[in-house]
Structure 1
Amino acid sequence: MRSTSEATPPARPEYILHASCPAGIGIVAAVATFLAERDCYICALEQFDDDSTARFFMRAVFRQQDKSPAIDAIRAEFDSTVATRLDMGWKIYDPLDPVRTVIMVSKTDHCLDDLLYRRRTGELNLSITAVVSNHLDLRPMVEREGIRFIFLPVNKDNKAQQEARLLEIVDETDSELVVLARYMQILSDGLARRLAGKCINIHHSFLPGFKGAKPYQQAFDRGVKLIGATAHYATPDLDEGPIIEQVLTRVDHNYRVDQLTRVGRDNECLALATAVKFHIERRVFVDGNKTVVFRGP
């Protein structure tokens, strides 16, 4: 009988190619040929050609084989032989690398708690470099997880200074993602632009409906039959950034405001966690003011 180590060879490293370029003929063939010539096995491939913007989007998962060059060599050769010719914006990611993330919160804890749980169980491959808050309420929850908590109180007089400090924190921690987990402050236009494409917000409504304060009261007053939540990239246009994920739950006239709020909290957690998961798995492409999201394997 063979030993377990003999029966189960070590897993080969897998990588994710995240790429977009002007639409044209032969893009898939060029990428597939490049990988095949370097003894790389394509495990999954998804692509989309947006006729309205004439842009092509691709996500490919590939595995190195015995004769594959080192991944740094693959990156260098891909840039010079494929990406330059196709005017392609691209990056090859190692999915085992945790995505360094800053989470921002205020007083409400359900979205933060859900993200911490999913990180703890391995569902979200995040390295949470800091939790930043304009209140102290959630400090005990954060520090129990061994995560750095940074208190940045915000008022009309210090907003610019505190936003500058936030950008310093993002740079100091080498974080590539910022998650607004019910952070109840409006980002300045300048900050939103600096974080374009790497700042995910959760809106406690099915956008574009019921913007602003008290969305569940608004929903109750209108007698809605669906309660939703929207996760999107933050932009200078308040609550109008490219949508990554939306979640809906059917309700009826029996639901009071407090019941609608409870349903909404569940929707917010699910929408935000799903959007973060899609982002860190490199499934999302910003396409103007919308997104292309590959939801496959």
Structure 2
Amino acid sequence: MNRLTATLLISCPDRQGLVAKIANFIYANGGNIIHADQHTDFAAGLFLTRIEWQLEGFHLPRELIAPAFGAIAQPLEAQWQLHFSDTIPRLAIWVSRQEHCLFDLILRQQAKEYAAEIPLIISNHPDLEWVAKQFGIDYYYIPVNKDNKAAQEEKQLELLHQYDIDLIVLAKYMQILSPEFMTRFPQAINIHHSFLPAFVGANPYQKAYERGVKIIGATAHYVTSELDAGPIIEQDVVRISHRDEVSDLIRKGKDLERVVLARAVRSHLQHRVLIYGNKTVVFE
């Protein structure tokens, strides 16, 4: 059954009684908690939690929940987010020439594996416009090079605003976003075709083959101004053998990339990821 819920993601300095204080806010206002998880990073001295409750029977109107909880969060020195389950995020998928992650995300969205809209695809190549047409998604070809990058990023930002986009998914978009762009639109997830921090940058499968590794991986992470160094959301690996050529590594890697990116996007959309520093907690 689809029940309207609210979710709080909270991080704050660790101290006694935090679980009780947060849970009591919901209980005192008639809420029924349906999911709760927490983690303490003792080295950082941080308490992190995700708590979700039903809004049916909750005494506070949704517009008053944030200010009411804010009064509790302030003395706790907490950073927090409030999300409602009937808010449907809007994704922009960015691609270059490879279609495997693009197809996978669209098909999962069409199958209602996660609640999101995909109104926009942006690419630095025209090759995948046929995919967008197949699913009725608007496609914009915006070529980027070192001479026009700033101007083209302005066009991209205008489109993100025009389509009211909440999250960019770099589904094999083989370009680096500038620090200026990330300052203005920091919500982006990238899929990298290696088990980071190994083989950062281009051609990781060739590098892995030359190194003779026995496993390869894929990593989904939030994008930052530093190449392939943002907070990691999801990773996985597959074994390879001495018989595998670079083409085999690429084939096996593409399978991983689909699954790892899908998991990361789903966790983000379900508000299960908390970033702190350059790390994440991903609540189950």
TM-score, structure 1 normalization? 0.91
Instruction: Please state if 1:15 is matched with 2:15.
Output: no
Partner of 1:64: 55
Give structure 1 regions of 4+ aligned residues with deviation exceeding 6 angstroms: none
Instruction: Please state if 1:236 is matched with 2:235.
Output: no
Of residues 99, 117, 124 in structure 1, which corresponds to 2:114? 124
TM-score, structure 2 normalization? 0.95
Instruction: Please state if 1:137 is matched with 2:127.
Output: yes
The answer for unaligned runs of 5 or more in structure 1 is 1-9
Structure 1 CA distance, aligned partners of 2:22 and 2:68?
A: 12
- The residue type paired with residue 241 of structure 2 is D
Aligned pair count? 284
Offset at 1:105?
A: 0.5
Instruction: Please state if 1:188 is matched with 2:167.
Output: no
Report Cα offsets for 1:165-214 as digits up to 9, x if no partner: 22222222222211100001111122233333x11011111111122222
Partner of 2:249: 260
The answer for unaligned runs of 5 or more in structure 2 is none
Offset at 1:232?
A: 0.6
Offset at 1:58?
A: 1.1
- The residue type paired with residue 111 of structure 1 is C
C-alpha change, 1:67 and 1:269, in structure 2 (3 Å) is: closer
Contact 1:193 1:235 in 2 (8 A): no
Contact 1:44 1:61 in 2 (8 A): yes
Report Cα offsets for 1:133-162 as digits up to 9, x if no partner: 111111110122111111111122210011
Partner of 1:36: 27
Contact 1:225 1:250 in 2 (8 A): yes
- The residue type paired with residue 94 of structure 1 is F
Decide which structure has the larger Cα Rg and report it.
Answer: 1
Report SS of the residue matched to 1:154. Answer: coil
Partner of 1:102: 92
- The residue type paired with residue 51 of structure 1 is F
Structure 2 CA distance, aligned partners of 1:212 and 1:236?
A: 13
Offset at 1:122?
A: 0.5
Instruction: Please state if 1:76 is matched with 2:76.
Output: no
Alignment RMSD: 1.6
Greater Cα shift, 126-135 or 109-118 = 126-135
Partner of 1:221: 210
Structure 1 CA distance, aligned partners of 2:3 and 2:26?
A: 15
Report SS of the residue matched to 2:224. Answer: coil
